[in-house]
Amino acid sequence: MRKVVIPRAGGYDRLKLETQPDPTPAPEEVVVTTEAIGVNYADCVIRMGLYASAKEYVGWPITPGFEFAGTVSAVGASVTDLAPGARVFGVTRFGGYSTHVAVPRHQVFPVPARFDMAQAAGFPSVFLTAYYALLELAHPRPGSTLLVHSAAGGVGGALLQLGRIAGCRTVGVVGSSHKVEAARALGAEVVIDKSREDLWRAAEQASPRGYDVVLDANGVSTLRESYRHLARPGKLVIYGFHSMLPRAGGRPNWVKLAVDFLRTPRFDPLQLTNDNTSVLAFNLSYLFERKDVLAEAMGRLLGWVDEGRITPLAVTRFPFERVADAHRALESGSTVGKLVLVP
């Protein structure tokens, strides 16, 4: 098999293609020959050496990648409900940037009839993140108003669709004009283009009483104001810190990181109690072994896919060998929807 290996933290030049023996499945595993591999911003953070769970679970060298789609090529002795040749997609805690992936059986699912392989590979990480953020943590009531940052990206686009399913009113924030229509098509009632208008003035106009839920992966650039624009009661859900990281060059600016760390809001429990608000946060990579969470979330998500209530996000494909170009594009902030690698 061929796989991307990162020997140590750094820029795009650290993404090395290597040839290694194909994996052999353990008794409860399946091996999938990948036809598409999802690319996520977390993969870039892993490459930079800043992803905590990557250090905890793997260390260096590491193969990034959380999601894939392809054909089952081998199954372990204890797997009786899946055979070679089955079309599946799934999640893996690292190791996804490979032509062959071995994962536990409970982490793969049949490819929906509505999806091609690239759409399937780009589905689980962003929709599971959106599901956990919105429906597991925030629990909005029908009629709630949501503010979704990065609304034309992978998780943002998934949040807009799930917000619509939950009966919520969604306000999406995008960073450039070419993303406005994409966010609107995914369900945003109002789209704020912060490249052309003042974000927080527009947010106040869109919901003068504040927001029942704000979903924020930006970090220091918006967290303080995201919290300030909560309704009472309201919930701020944090799932990333993208604004602390570079938009070009592929390497972190350590001075900027230190300054942004010091500028990041610290939420006082006494203030939270008095404000009648909540701040929630999570990292999806710590949840993959939770079979109950994964089964429930994917069961509901795939049911909505079958009903046509969830549509696949726009996909941009990159050849496997151009993995550095995919990272460069994702870090630029100019992309819409999902990026996938095609072996």
* Tens of pLDDT, residues 296-331: 999 999 999 999 999 999 999 999 999 999 999 999
Task: Determine whether 225 is exposed, middle or buried from the number of CB atoms within 10 Å of its CB (0-12, 13-18, 19+).
Answer: middle
pLDDT surpassing 80 at residue 224: yes
Q: Which of 322, 334, 340, 244 is closest to 4 using CA atoms?
A: 322
pLDDT at 288: 76
| Distant-in-sequence, close-in-space partners of 258: CB < 8 Å, separation ≥ 6 | none
Q: At how many degrees (to 10) do helices 154-165 and 124-131 cross?
A: 50
Q: How confident is the model at residue 76 (pLDDT cuts 50, 70, 90)?
A: very high
* Stated pTM of the model: 0.95
Place of tokens 């070679």: 84
Q: Which of 106, 26, 97, 65 is closest to 292 using CA atoms?
A: 106
d(CA 192, CA 241) in angstroms, rounded, equals 20
Mean pLDDT over residues 33-55, rounded? 96
Of 209-213, 232-236, 323-327, 331-335, minimum mean pLDDT range: 331-335
Mean pLDDT over residues 142-160, rounded? 97
Backbone phi, psi, residue 63, to 5°: -105, 115
pLDDT at 187: 94
Q: Which stretches of 83-202 are assigned E, i.e. beta strand?
A: 87-91, 100-104, 108-110, 145-148, 169-174, 190-193
Asked if 284 contacts 125 with a C-beta cutoff of 8 angstroms, the reply is yes
Task: Determine whether 240 is exposed, middle or buried from the number of CB atoms within 10 Å of its CB (0-12, 13-18, 19+).
Answer: buried
* pLDDT (tens digit per residue) in 189-208: 999 999 999 999 999 999 99
The tokens describing 324, both together, are 């550095």
Other C-beta atoms lying within 10 Å of the C-beta of residue 291: 11
| Distant-in-sequence, close-in-space partners of 164: CB < 8 Å, separation ≥ 6 | 170, 187
Mean pLDDT over residues 96-118, rounded? 97
d(CA 258, CA 240) in angstroms, rounded, equals 16
pLDDT mean across residues, the chain: 96
Of 7-11, 221-225, 282-286, minimum mean pLDDT range: 282-286
pLDDT at 106: 94
Report the CATH superfamily, name and number, of domain 126-285.
Answer: NAD(P)-binding Rossmann-like Domain (3.40.50.720)
CA 266 from centre of chain: 24
Q: Domain ranges in the chain?
A: 2-123+312-342, 126-285
Q: How confident is the model at residue 31 (pLDDT cuts 50, 70, 90)?
A: very high
Mean pLDDT over residues 103-130, rounded? 97
Mean pLDDT over residues 161-190, rounded? 97
Amino acid found at 148: V
pLDDT at 296: 94
Mean pLDDT over residues 34-53, rounded? 96
* pLDDT (tens digit per residue) in 271-282: 999 999 999 999
| Distant-in-sequence, close-in-space partners of 292: CB < 8 Å, separation ≥ 6 | none
pLDDT at 247: 83
pLDDT at 289: 74
pLDDT at 287: 83
| Distant-in-sequence, close-in-space partners of 126: CB < 8 Å, separation ≥ 6 | 38, 40, 154, 155, 157, 158, 313, 338
pLDDT at 143: 97
Side-chain-side CA neighbours of 330 within 13 Å: the count stands at: 29
pLDDT at 286: 86
Q: Which CATH number is 2-123+312-342's, of 3.30.465.10, 3.40.250.10, 3.90.180.10, 3.40.50.300?
A: 3.90.180.10
pLDDT surpassing 90 at residue 129: yes
pLDDT surpassing 80 at residue 211: yes
pLDDT surpassing 90 at residue 2: yes
Mean pLDDT over residues 68-96, rounded? 97
pLDDT surpassing 90 at residue 15: yes
Q: How confident is the model at residue 56 (pLDDT cuts 50, 70, 90)?
A: very high
Backbone phi, psi, residue 9, to 5°: -65, 145
Q: Is residue 32 within a helix (H) or strand (E), and if so which, with residue range?
A: strand 29-39
| Distant-in-sequence, close-in-space partners of 268: CB < 8 Å, separation ≥ 6 | none
